[in-house]
Structure 1
């Protein structure tokens, strides 16, 4: 079966989420189309999950449709275009549907109040942080792969005239990442984006080397993305404060000037030093954790990552990964966390073998397994392991075993890292880096994946299905099996 075009996928999704009138916001991350809906009871979830292009759905603060990397970036603009067309064609009948819109809004309010128990301050804060960094992931991936390619050419002694150009291309974004973080931070917290970027740019400006704070000379880039985030957040609050008392006639002159000046001074004489200390502590803690408690740390990190993915909170780790990449050239945490996906794949394979008479779930696994091998775990999580219950726990066991494998080698001095964030599974191989060369690093990572597959499979096969093979009534392809 051929893959449907992005426009066909968007056209198929729109009526199943209640039509254009039910959509209030559209966004996307690496794998998911994120929709704000007025009334989620209008969603035909079974039909939605049966669409060939849909890998799964997540009902969270936004309604999230998992389409996979690449596909979501093509479908989203087509979906937005459909919304624009529908809005234009229905404008003349808006007054006739006002009552229905009010009822839909009331239904959305009721559903929002029901979900309010899960909207804890911590979860909301983590999601906002994720919203700052998720848009940066494509650039991180692209630059990371280019950096890896450049490193291979240098080690092989090939194309010496080209490698400086590759290094410049790969490093340019990372040298200015603080500016992008500042821009996105101001956007997320309601400030003027360009002012957030302007204040964050102070951190990477070479002239800060002439500034002395706390008896120390500052270094360009000191504080990294953490300093940029806090500086832009401060700028947002300064900007709001200015708008409470600056006359409108002077606002265009006074507000941006005071925002950049006050926030910039605090950044230079406080935030850069503090954020620099925190960033150094993160790097030191990661090194100590893996060099002294490697296997145990890997077991814990690999075993707990799937629940974070399930809750959508795994993106909150991006600042830590980015900080490690800035400091060391790679993040040693991502390969360990990627083992959770290996455990998930192993668990899904065991379910496929054990439930050989359940054609529906076997079809779901066949559809979702390629994405799972490439590190996109949501289809297997929401389509297989979570609905069945125990396989989710045994998948975590596989992830813990794979993480312990990589962590064990860390205690031996073999560090496995990734030069960028985003991919995992097999897709992480082009981004691997370490202190022993690409060959040993790739071998250790492959060993971790194999360990995760085997333990996830064995644990699920032996314990994940309660010792029996349940019979199920066949359902439409793509539907979530019953718990």
Structure 2
């Protein structure tokens, strides 16, 4: 798509979310444009869903518009530019819904019904933690792929002069990831970002090896991202405390000093050791879980991951993945969780063949399948399976079957994982690694994808539709889609 097309998409979206005066913040993840809103009632949901580039909407702590991978990274800066360039409002903002009934339907019902279910303290905390790690994903992907390429060159003996350079490029970010986590933690929780990064930097400083805590010398990097998150969070609270009593005349000197000093001491003589023990426990538990109950664990993890994606909570697993990568060099969980996307793809293909007369839905599937094969399942979730209801459940069945397949081979000793987080589907192949070598890892992962595709297809083809659904849906609805992606709550099966 051309830049003009991306700008046109942004221009189409802006008035439908209440105009620039209604936008308080703009951000994006891998597939969604995330907008902070002053007044949710000004958003025109159905009109947004009708914009050709929009694959779905999600009403959460921010209003999220699903645009798909690649497109969202290009539309977001255009949207931000339009918001910045907009002249000050000279007229009243768009009118609210004219009747109390419409207001209830478009505002209160959405906020009360959905957020009452989703805005629990635990879920809100998980989303905030996810906000810390989501900006790091591009670097994790890039460095992970470079690490995989470096592994191939090392094993093949090719280009030996390049290997050390690639190792440095791949490892540089991971060696300092604690600093980035600390910076983002302070930013997310309302502190000064650079102070959070400064406290977290203590963890990776080589000189900590001279410090003894709990009867043993610390190791640089001990505690990893978990320690960095905890240290920066403590720094935020210390900074807030300082702001309440430090006189303004000396605030610029005293507050930064105490914000780094006090959490720094706690980090060195407590958090690094404790976070290191937690990180080691996570690694041990993941290894034992798959070694002793791999098939069942894979079944559960693969089957439940799509609902997590649907709710946007899958990003909260990033700290666990990152900890496992720090612990063993790869995360064993990601290849299993990736099977959920395979089940989704299989289910979408079955829908395509079961509804040969529904040209609109088949067009949606054809446009969303490439992203689905690369592991981005949201376009298929919000554009296909979730509105239909039953195919969402059968897609989960396919993911469970693929997860059980991969988990079984972990249980049999052919364990492997991903050296980075972010992509899944076919895009995960370059990131695979394990003690048995790259070949077995690729073979098992490909087998899991095949099982997920096949079971997702079969379960959807034979059990994904009632006779009445087939009668209603297997028709040509004309140029406009019959189904529009709803909120992230599953339709009744």
Contact persistence 1:50–1:479 (CA under 8 A):
no
Instruction: Tell which deviates more after alignment, 37-46 or 289-298.
Output: 37-46
**SS of equivalent to 2:471:** coil
Structure 1 pair 168–478 and aligned structure 2 pair: CA distance change class (3 A): farther
- In the other structure, the counterpart of 1:48 is 48
**SS of equivalent to 2:433:** strand
Structure 1 pair 358–98 and aligned structure 2 pair: CA distance change class (3 A): closer
- Written as runs of structure 1 = structure 2, the 5 A alignment for 1:65-80 is 65-80=65-80
- In the other structure, the counterpart of 1:202 is 202
Residue deviations 1:131-177 (CA, integer Å, cap 9, x gap):
00000000000000000011111111111001100000000000000
The question of 1:289 aligning with 2:286 is answered no
**SS of equivalent to 1:244:** helix
Contact persistence 2:41–2:107 (CA under 8 A):
no
Cα distance in 2, alignment partners of residues 462 and 478 from structure 1 = 22
- In the other structure, the counterpart of 2:303 is 303
Cα distance in 2, alignment partners of residues 115 and 345 from structure 1 = 27
Contact persistence 1:246–1:255 (CA under 8 A):
yes
Cα distance in 2, alignment partners of residues 328 and 481 from structure 1 = 40
Contact persistence 1:388–1:481 (CA under 8 A):
no
Size of the alignment, in residue pairs? 476
Contact persistence 1:55–1:66 (CA under 8 A):
yes
**SS of equivalent to 1:18:** coil
- In the other structure, the counterpart of 2:391 is 391
- In the other structure, the counterpart of 1:244 is 244
- Written as runs of structure 1 = structure 2, the 5 A alignment for 1:261-272 is 261-272=261-272
Shift of 1:369: 1.1
Give the one of 70, 81, 90 matched to 2:88. Answer: 90
**SS of equivalent to 1:65:** strand
Shift of 1:477: 4.2
**SS of equivalent to 2:285:** helix
Residue deviations 1:346-372 (CA, integer Å, cap 9, x gap):
111111111112222212111211111
Structure 1 pair 35–178 and aligned structure 2 pair: CA distance change class (3 A): same
Instruction: Tell which deviates more after alignment, 225-234 or 372-381.
Output: 372-381
The question of 1:279 aligning with 2:279 is answered yes
Cα distance in 2, alignment partners of residues 197 and 217 from structure 1 = 23
Q: When the two structures are superposed, what TM-score results if normalisation uses the length of structure 2?
A: 0.92
Shift of 1:114: 5.4
Instruction: Tell which deviates more after alignment, 368-377 or 471-480.
Output: 471-480
Residue deviations 1:435-472 (CA, integer Å, cap 9, x gap):
22222111110100000000001111111112562324
Contact persistence 1:344–1:392 (CA under 8 A):
yes
- Written as runs of structure 1 = structure 2, the 5 A alignment for 1:182-197 is 182-197=182-197
Contact persistence 1:394–1:459 (CA under 8 A):
yes
Residue deviations 1:348-405 (CA, integer Å, cap 9, x gap):
1111111112222212111211111111111111111111111111111100000000
Structure 1 pair 478–200 and aligned structure 2 pair: CA distance change class (3 A): farther
Shift of 1:25: 1.6
Cα distance in 2, alignment partners of residues 324 and 145 from structure 1 = 17
Q: What RMSD, in angstroms, separates the aligned Cα atoms of the two structures? A: 2.2
Cα distance in 1, alignment partners of residues 112 and 462 from structure 2 = 41
Consecutive unaligned residues in structure 1, runs of 5 or more: none
Contact persistence 2:18–2:93 (CA under 8 A):
no
Shift of 1:205: 0.4
Cα distance in 1, alignment partners of residues 304 and 200 from structure 2 = 33
- In the other structure, the counterpart of 2:13 is 13
- In the other structure, the counterpart of 2:232 is 232
Residue deviations 1:291-313 (CA, integer Å, cap 9, x gap):
11110110000000001111110
Structure 1 pair 204–2 and aligned structure 2 pair: CA distance change class (3 A): closer
The question of 1:480 aligning with 2:487 is answered no
Contact persistence 1:3–1:52 (CA under 8 A):
no
- In the other structure, the counterpart of 1:168 is 168
Contact persistence 1:295–1:407 (CA under 8 A):
yes
Contact persistence 2:394–2:460 (CA under 8 A):
yes
**SS of equivalent to 1:5:** helix
Contact persistence 1:4–1:53 (CA under 8 A):
no
- In the other structure, the counterpart of 2:461 is 461
Cα distance in 1, alignment partners of residues 14 and 39 from structure 2 = 14
The question of 1:357 aligning with 2:352 is answered no
Shift of 1:43: 3.2
Shift of 1:12: 2.1
Shift of 1:129: 0.4
- Written as runs of structure 1 = structure 2, the 5 A alignment for 1:62-141 is 62-86=62-86, 89-91=87-89, 93=90, 96-97=91-92, 110=108, 112=111, 115-117=114-116, 118-141=118-141
Shift of 1:411: 1.2
Shift of 1:428: 0.9
- In the other structure, the counterpart of 2:406 is 406
Shift of 1:99: 9.9
Cα distance in 1, alignment partners of residues 360 and 127 from structure 2 = 34
Contact persistence 1:28–1:76 (CA under 8 A):
yes
Contact persistence 2:346–2:398 (CA under 8 A):
yes
Cα distance in 1, alignment partners of residues 336 and 418 from structure 2 = 10
Structure 1 pair 98–436 and aligned structure 2 pair: CA distance change class (3 A): closer
Residue deviations 1:165-220 (CA, integer Å, cap 9, x gap):
00000000000000000000000100100000000000000000000001111000
Structure 1 pair 301–215 and aligned structure 2 pair: CA distance change class (3 A): same
Cα distance in 2, alignment partners of residues 347 and 3 from structure 1 = 33
Q: When the two structures are superposed, what TM-score results if normalisation uses the length of structure 1?
A: 0.94
